[in-house]
Every structure is written in C-alpha cells, then in structure tokens.
Structure 1
C-alpha cells in the first residue's frame, strides 16, 4: 500500500515543518529544475521540435481522456507487479532512455538507475549515456541484482559499432535492446538552435562510444566531408578544455577526442535506416528486442512479423516531428494491430499516475517516465529521482484504488469515458 504510506509520511513530516524533498506537481517540478539547470541544459531536456505542437498534443490527449471510476466494489489497493520478458517489475513503469544526463547531474545514469533499482523498476540506458553501459548496469546490480536494465540502440552507419554495442549489452547482462527508429537524424529543435547548443560536440553523452573498441578502432579512418577548422575564440577554448577533461576520464588525448566527436557526427545520422536493419539486429542478438518510436499500426504489425519481442509507442516526447500524432492516440491502434502477440509499451506526455492509468487502460503493458525524472535528478540526484518515483507510484496506486480497479488485469477501456471537452487556454509540455 505504497500510496497511503507515502501520502501519510508527507503529511506527518508536515507536522514537523518539513516539506517534500522536491515539488509533487509536475509543472512545479519542471519550474524548480529550470532554476537549477543552465539555460543550455534545460533547453536540451525541455525542448521539442518546431513549435512544440506535438508536445502539447501529447498532454492534450491525456487531458481529453477521462477516467470513469467505479464505486463500492469492495476492492483493496491492487498489486502493481508485472512480469515482462521473463523479468519481474515492481510496477508497470520504467525510466525512458534519455541521453546526456550529465546536463542535469554529474552522476547522471548512475544516480537514476540506483533509484529505479531500489524500487524494482527497469531503467533504459541511452545510446547517448554519460557513463559507460557497463558501469550503469553494475550500479543497478549493486543495489538490486534482479533489476532489469535495457540498452537503447541508435543504429549508426557503421555496422561494426552496432555489432559491438550489441555484444556489450549481452555481456553486461542487459534485459533487452530497445532499437529506436524515430531518430535517424535529429529533429528541428528551436530551443537548442537558438542557443547554438549540441552537447555531443563537447564530448557529452558519448560515454558508450568512448569506451567501445570498434568505434575507437576506426578513429583514424577517413571520413567524408570537409574538416572543420574554426577560428579561435574564448568559447571555443573553453569547449576544447572541457573536451580534454572528458578525454582524460577515458584515457584519450585531445586529438583523439576531436576525432571521436567528428566520427560520431559523421556516423550518427542514418536516414536510410530500413526494415532490413531491423531484421539484421533481430538476427544479431538473442536478447529481447523492442522497437521504439512506433505510431502507425502497420509499422507495429511489420515489427511483429520480423520477430521483435515488444513494440514501443512513442513520438520521442515531441522532439522529432512537430505536428505528429499524440502517442496516446496511436496506442489503441497499435495494441489492436499486434493482437496480444507482443507487449506494447508507451511514453510521451506522461506526467502523473493518473496518466499512467489511462495508458494502461488503453492496452499499454508498461508506461515510460521521461522528462520529470530528469528534473528530479537535477534537483536531488539519486534521492531526487527516488522521491519522484515514490510520488508517482503512490499516485498510480491511489488512482487505481479510487477508480475501483482490483487488479491490473481488470483495466481496460471500460474504465474510460468519452473525451472531455477541450480546456480553456493553457499549454503543457510533453
């Protein structure tokens, strides 16, 4: 009964004049994190593509879908545990893969994965992590040997690096691979563009690459395109010093770091990514393979036919295609298309436990938490992420209980009503 326990603890602490360690409301959490983070860091985390209409659509979809609670059902608070891909999860929640977490806190993934593991929740390590994959998995296992850790893969144009990443995920003991297919190149993100800020050019978010033998072994290979020879400025000098500091952590010289950044930029984007690469990744690993970034039911069906183990509905939190379909609106069609043959996961726009209940009622087997946990990380490191997860789990359980849901298996569209009327004014990020 985590909901009542967390709620009572907060109220009892209030009697002694102590407030929760971080804001409970998602909008207040974001606002407080903005004060703590640099303008560049906050823009990278909070921003989306274009006019951020997809971000707004993600939140609007949740606002317009109403829960329909049932009363007097004599049910106790339901258990939250689920089993997916042979692993037990404490709740149908997971922490989404988010890159460059060092922008929020120096411990980055290490802090977040420990908080998740202590609560029995899965963590997805981003391809653009700030710490090596192996260290993140080790940090989780040190807290909870059964903690599921997934590796998110961006398919680069260099198949040797892709193969090496897969082998490392297997050797590290990852619970699965999450192949992300909606980011074959970066979306148009005005917040970052206005600041001229791309963290990868500073060597941030490249820990998986900087510790990979295949990637490092190719640093001296020629690359297409002209070399970048900027005129010296004070800002450039500061960035080169930061690049050198990063290199020292991995035993790489400044020259090697410059080559690594250039090679990453040259091989990261892969607009030609196709179903053939999905097939090859499927054949290259025995780990459960999830396909992330699916919105169209025909894509979901094709993925299942190719042998993926899970379909992950997402529009990347509105960061890729402005004006895209809200992920929550795509969810029921994808669930219908796969017909229960594989689990369906979902993220994009989830802010509250009530949001998660709506997604679960529409057929998601688990729901991903994104930006809010990064804001919590910025405010309090591991303890901040832990407090956020406790708050979210409490609201999830309380919402289920107050809606008359006796078990997760009971959830379905019958716990939802017709769309609410559009709200009057207001915006919400995703």
Structure 2
C-alpha cells in the first residue's frame, strides 16, 4: 500500500487491477461472498474481485452526525464513537446523545500528520467531564502507557495491535500472553509509583517534559 499516494497523484489506481489487494483476497468472508455472487474463485477473475473490494473499501466512508439518530432507532444499547480528536467533537457527541467516545487517531495509520491522541486526551476529558465515558486508543503498548492514559482522563484503555501480534505468533495462547504481560507491567508499575489502584491514577503523578529538540521542531 506504500505506493498509494504517488499512484493516486498520477491518477493511477492499482487496486482495480488487483495490485495491492492481498489483504482482501485472503479474507475468507470476502472470498465466500465473492464466490456466492460470481460463481467462481477470486483467482479466476482477479479484476472482478479487485473491483468488488474497491467498492467495499471506498464507498460509504463519509458519515455525518445525523446518522447517530438512525443508529439510536435501530440499537437500544450504548453507542461509542471512535476517532474523536478534538474537544468540539467530544461536545457534539454529548449533544447527539452517545454514551461514550474513544479518543483515537487510529494508531496513526490514517493521517500521518495527525496530533497524538495522548496529547489531546486531557483537553477532551476536561471538556466532557462526567457527561459521557471517555476511552483511549492509539499507541498503548505497555502497562505504563495504560497508567498515563488513565491519569490523563480516560476511564479505560483499548489495546489494538499487541494482542494481534501475539495471535499471529502463538495463536490464542500468544494473544493471552501479550495481554498478561501488559497487565503484569501495569500492576508492577502502579506499585513502583505508589499507586494502590486505578482510582489513584491522576495528573498529579504525570509530568510532561519538553526537550529543546521538541520546542525547535514546533517552530
């Protein structure tokens, strides 16, 4: 996928020719649905398969706040919005009546210049107060990362890639070992910091240190 920006700038979309579609073509659900619709395997018609995948990935990706009302009519459970990166959007989430938000830049893989989620977390948490539940996602790899997010206003921290790495290496046991490692680090780090429990995680134990290079790079 690394060539996508350059190709798109040149009005060349390699996906429709089956280039760079391995993620889709190896997905069992996509393969099954393609066969049901076309009566053949993906490998028998790469172009048709690629076009199906492009339609899935690049259609219906724009959403509006008005869609929340539709979701609330169809779903009586809690609604949590992921991808909140600004206090104004967090306040809008309260206005439309969702129960929670996830402060996230999707692991930095969508927009490389996006501000870090941890940087925005305190401001967003202050804006919403206790009016909805604030979760955190993006870049949490250790127990210390979890402590930082909880201390800056998150009620819970979502773990994304680490357990997938464990799953890929060791299956179910690998995923479990990764999570056990994060929990062990979390427990040990709380003890070393003199924290008895998650309720003691607050900004009083956090300090942000700016280095000369950080200051210079922001000018």
TM-score normalised according to structure 1 size:
0.41
Pick from 169, 178, 199 the counterpart of residue 409 of structure 1: 199
Give the RMSD, CA atoms, in angstroms.
3.3
In the TM superposition, what whole-angstrom CA distance separates every residue of 1:100-128 from its partner, at most 9, and x where no partner exists? xxxxxxxxxxxxxxxxxxxxxxxxxxxxx
CA shift, 1:271, in A, is 4.6
Pick from 194, 198, 207 the counterpart of residue 21 of structure 2: 198
Pick from 148, 151, 155 the counterpart of residue 365 of structure 1: 155
Quick one: higher RCO (CA 8 Å, sep 6+), 1 or 2? Answer: 1
Residue in structure 2 matched with residue 266 of structure 1 by the alignment: 55
Distance 1:201 1:385 in 2: 23
Residue in structure 1 matched with residue 189 of structure 2 by the alignment: 399
Whether the aligned pair in 2 keeps the contact of 1:200 and 1:261 (CA below 8 Å) is: no
Residue in structure 1 matched with residue 112 of structure 2 by the alignment: 322
Q: Quick check: 1:349 aligned with 2:172?
A: no
Whether the aligned pair in 2 keeps the contact of 1:315 and 1:326 (CA below 8 Å) is: yes
Q: Quick check: 1:303 aligned with 2:93?
A: yes
Aligned ranges for residues 29-178 of structure 1 at < 5 Å?
Answer: none
Q: How many residues align?
A: 198
Q: Quick check: 1:386 aligned with 2:162?
A: no
Whether the aligned pair in 1 keeps the contact of 2:21 and 2:50 (CA below 8 Å) is: no
Residue in structure 2 matched with residue 421 of structure 1 by the alignment: 211
Structure 1: unaligned runs, 5 residues or longer: 1-43, 51-192, 221-239, 245-253, 425-430
CA shift, 1:258, in A, is 8.1
Whether the aligned pair in 2 keeps the contact of 1:200 and 1:206 (CA below 8 Å) is: no
Residue in structure 1 matched with residue 70 of structure 2 by the alignment: 280
Q: Quick check: 1:338 aligned with 2:128?
A: yes
Residue in structure 1 matched with residue 217 of structure 2 by the alignment: none
Structure-2 change in CA distance of 1:200 and 1:334 (3 Å): same
In the TM superposition, what whole-angstrom CA distance separates every residue of 1:275-300 from its partner, at most 9, and x where no partner exists? 11233223321121110011011111
Structure 2: unaligned runs, 5 residues or longer: 6-14, 215-219
Residue in structure 1 matched with residue 165 of structure 2 by the alignment: 375
Distance 2:154 2:48 in 1: 42
TM-score normalised according to structure 2 size:
0.77
